[in-house]
Structure 1
Amino acid sequence: MFSGSIPALVTPFRDGAFDEKAFRQLVDWQIASGSSALVPCGTTGENSTLSNAEHHRVIEVCLEQAAGRVPVIAGCGSNDTMNALLHMQFSAKCGAAAALLVAPYYNRPSQEGLLAHFSYLADHSDLPIVLYNVPGRTVTDLKPETVCELARRFPSKIIGIKDASGDLSRVTDHRMGIAGEFCQLSGDDELALPFSAAGGVGCISVTANVAPRLCAEFQAACAAGDLALARELNDRLYPLHYAMFEDASPGPVKYAMSKVLDFIAEELRLPLVPCNAQARAAVDAALVHAGLA
């Protein structure tokens, strides 16, 4: 099971190509800074702009560089069930600990369709699944009753959820509706503190890309029940959480990382472009507030 601060890693680009050298440095820095697991090829990793070959290479490099020091939860989501399975098969072969599977986007399946999609993947791969619900991006909302039914059907396969629904009541819905162990990870940095209080055990984080040690210390304080320290760290990080979304993500986080790390360029892939002046100002101020600049 997973817990603590888990960065949804950016994918560094240079001159249009995956910057493998920078990504390896990023993996090492994240592990040295206390991140408890890594997620390559999630939304923050611009997975929707990667070819399948690039997608698989990013996962492969992450696993090679992590070298068993922390688990890797490979981003395998797709709105095409067969393509998601292809990603899962590759990730399992490379040694990933689990697959992060976003609810299918654009084609807007019903709850019955979501049950069929995730059931098919659980039936056809041995890789454990962390569900990912982010209706603000996918439009489709993975309802608590569907999550609970999937966990009931596949207790050894459906092992957790990254919940970015923004609905904190769902932490309790899942906790009370699922009989066995089920790992609940926040998908919203700014809600990680109340999410933890409701029963969450960690966060798959955007902010941890640029502030991994602070995010790891915050999650450790939550796990230890040290509310005073957790609040103090949360207050330091809070403006940064919001600054990460002042413009289309991961534009602001790549800008922030280019300010903090000399090996990460700000480059994104179309249709994403570097963040605007308002977002840059928010990031600059938040980095100062957090003590990172």
Structure 2
Amino acid sequence: MKFGGIVTATITPLSSPRQIDADRLAHHCNVLFAEGCSFVSTFGTTGEGASFSADQKIDTLKKLKEHGLEMSRFIPAIMTSSFADAGKMLAAYHALGCAAALVLPPFFYTDISDEGVIDYFEAMLDVAENPEIPLLLYNIPRYSGTHFTPKLVEKLVIRFGPQIVGIKDSTGNLENGLTLVKCFPNLSIFTGNDRVMPPLVAAGGAGMIGGMPNLFASDLVKLFSSIGDSSTTDLLEKAAKRIEIVDSNGGLNVLKAAVAHRYRDNSWCQVAPPLEQISKSAFDMLLPLLEVPTLAQHLDPSHFNASTKVTT
């Protein structure tokens, strides 16, 4: 199975610093799909996935399904060193009908061998009772400590066969992504970086799974669908500028504040411990540089969920 397109690694709205707001997340996902995203990936790095329990994530996805969202367009992440929790989430994602799971390798322990990573995947699948749900490998060694090298990916593909369907390469390194595309033409190779996406897709890559579509999905969908077109130069320049501003000023807390500004709803600013919310003064300095798009009337989130109030 080949995946592709713009996949939003969605932020996670909170009703308090410790509770996920499923209502707001539901209407945000609806906005993202209306703006052209192929899939949504919940509870990854941008979704503060390491901060929430397995039960919180599963319960939230169940509520999203109750809201009428198509779970076949969800690729929730698994970010835990506990193979038991990983298996619990994987079984739930499969039961809910999710398209795939984005799996981070176990972290905390250093210098994990390839065989250790394979053992973790085997344990996760065993706990989940071996569901036939596609798996994408989450390559972000900066946080996980494990690099999905071509050698390791090959071992995983040999061991788990077609259940391994792709890789999200969040190294930000184009050459690394191109190497994966060349070595694994049958896998969907995504980047997490807007600037890397065009040349990666031109070489056979699948697209991007990243945080910036939370704000700029329409632009990135246009960029993806017009790879190689010289008319996209302006879009690419804007994408590069935006990601530089966000990444160099705190990352996630800037992104959440910008979404709060777009929705006119300060609840979106909240982050889970141990992260800290950006100050209003700091964000006010960045806002003119980001050029946050306004919502078209037909994309107003209040139209998707009457129970969620958007303040003005």
In the superposition, the TM-score normalised over structure 1's length comes to: 0.89
In 2, the alpha carbon distance for the partners of 1:243 and 1:63 equals 34
For 1:12, the aligned partner's letter is P
Match of 2:283 among 269, 276, 280: 280
- Aligned partners of 1:39 and 1:72 also within 8 Å: yes
Match of 1:118 among 118, 121, 141: 121
TM-superposed CA distance for 1:163, in Å, is 0.3
Partner of residue 182, structure 1: 187
Partner of residue 32, structure 2: 30
The 1:286–1:155 alpha-carbon spacing in structure 2 relative to 1, beyond 3 Å, is farther
In 2, the alpha carbon distance for the partners of 1:265 and 1:2 equals 29
In 2, the alpha carbon distance for the partners of 1:3 and 1:283 equals 32
TM-superposed CA distance for 1:27, in Å, is 1.1
- Aligned partners of 2:102 and 2:135 also within 8 Å: yes
Partner of residue 167, structure 1: 173
The alignment partner of 1:44 has SS state of coil
Q: Aligned-residue CA RMSD in angstroms?
A: 2.4
TM-superposed CA distance for 1:65, in Å, is 4.1
Match of 1:215 among 196, 216, 220: 220
The alignment partner of 1:156 has SS state of helix
For 1:11, the aligned partner's letter is T
In 1, the alpha carbon distance for the partners of 2:81 and 2:216 equals 31
TM-superposed CA distance for 1:141, in Å, is 1.6
In the superposition, the TM-score normalised over structure 2's length comes to: 0.84
The 1:270–1:6 alpha-carbon spacing in structure 2 relative to 1, beyond 3 Å, is same
Query: Matches of residues 251-270 of structure 1 in structure 2 within 5 Å?
Result: 251-263=253-265, 265-270=268-273
- Listed as ranges, the gaps of 5+ residues in structure 1 are none
- Aligned partners of 1:246 and 1:279 also within 8 Å: no
1:142 aligns with 2:144: no
In 2, the alpha carbon distance for the partners of 1:113 and 1:69 equals 31
In 2, the alpha carbon distance for the partners of 1:239 and 1:291 equals 15
Match of 1:48 among 43, 47, 50: 50
Match of 1:157 among 156, 163, 171: 163
- The structure that has the greater radius of gyration is 2
For 1:30, the aligned partner's letter is L
The alignment partner of 2:165 has SS state of strand
Instruction: Give me the identity figure in percent.
Output: 22
In 2, the alpha carbon distance for the partners of 1:122 and 1:199 equals 30
- Listed as ranges, the gaps of 5+ residues in structure 2 are 296-312
- Aligned partners of 1:190 and 1:242 also within 8 Å: no
How many residue pairs end up in the alignment?
288
1:94 aligns with 2:96: yes
Q: Deviations over 1:200-233 (max 9, x none)?
A: 12100110001111111111112xxx33133321
Q: Deviations over 1:26-78 (max 9, x none)?
A: 01111111111011111111112212221112222344446338611111232
TM-superposed CA distance for 1:257, in Å, is 0.5
Of stretches 201-210 and 163-172 in structure 1, the one that deviates more from structure 2 is 163-172
Partner of residue 76, structure 2: 74
TM-superposed CA distance for 1:162, in Å, is 0.3
In 2, the alpha carbon distance for the partners of 1:183 and 1:64 equals 30
For 1:275, the aligned partner's letter is I
TM-superposed CA distance for 1:101, in Å, is 0.3
Q: Deviations over 1:138-162 (max 9, x none)?
A: 2222212111221233332000000
Of stretches 43-52 and 199-208 in structure 1, the one that deviates more from structure 2 is 43-52
Of stretches 170-179 and 93-102 in structure 1, the one that deviates more from structure 2 is 170-179
TM-superposed CA distance for 1:116, in Å, is 2.2
TM-superposed CA distance for 1:122, in Å, is 5.1
